[in-house]
Structure 1
Amino acid sequence: MKLKQLQAWLRQASFYAEEAYNAPYRSAIARAKREQDDLFMLLIFSEMMGVPNPASYYTLELQPLLLERFHDWHIRMGMPHSPLDNIRCC
């Protein structure tokens, strides 16, 4: 019984140590991910508007997956409605 208690305590201590180590970096990582997602979204939807995308061959198959996230993106960018006429998400 003591061995199981010790293992559980070590697992919990490891979890808290990992959380304490990662806490200062969590917001910076989230911000970098948002910026990367915003740039990627801009490239994809600029292509839909007729601006040539240099990575179009690689991003074309990802478009259906990103349409689900388009609403969150344009709200975060401060646009209350979709900026594109052919995409109605609101």
Structure 2
Amino acid sequence: MNERNESVFDFPCAFPVKVMGARHDDFHPTVVAIVRRHAPDTPDEAFVLRESSNGNFVSITATINAQSREQLDALYRELSACDLVNMAL
């Protein structure tokens, strides 16, 4: 196996996904819906919402049960394409 094909993760694994955006009423439900399309077994308590100190921005950390690199890639692609999302890490 060459270095490009080796994964640093052993799937399945718990994987935190951090999503940031401007404070908006639709941000939380939109992020939850996107995450659940790719990881449908993610429970409500896996989503942690935090506001910035000035309240203009929010972040959601969702810890999912990641099954594969392909699953994570698809999730990040959809989050990045969402207009409400400024950044996904």
TM-score, normalised relative to structure 2? 0.26
Larger Rg belongs to: 1
Which structure ranks higher in relative contact order (CA pairs < 8 Å, sequence separation ≥ 6)? 2
The structure that is helix-richer by fraction is: 1
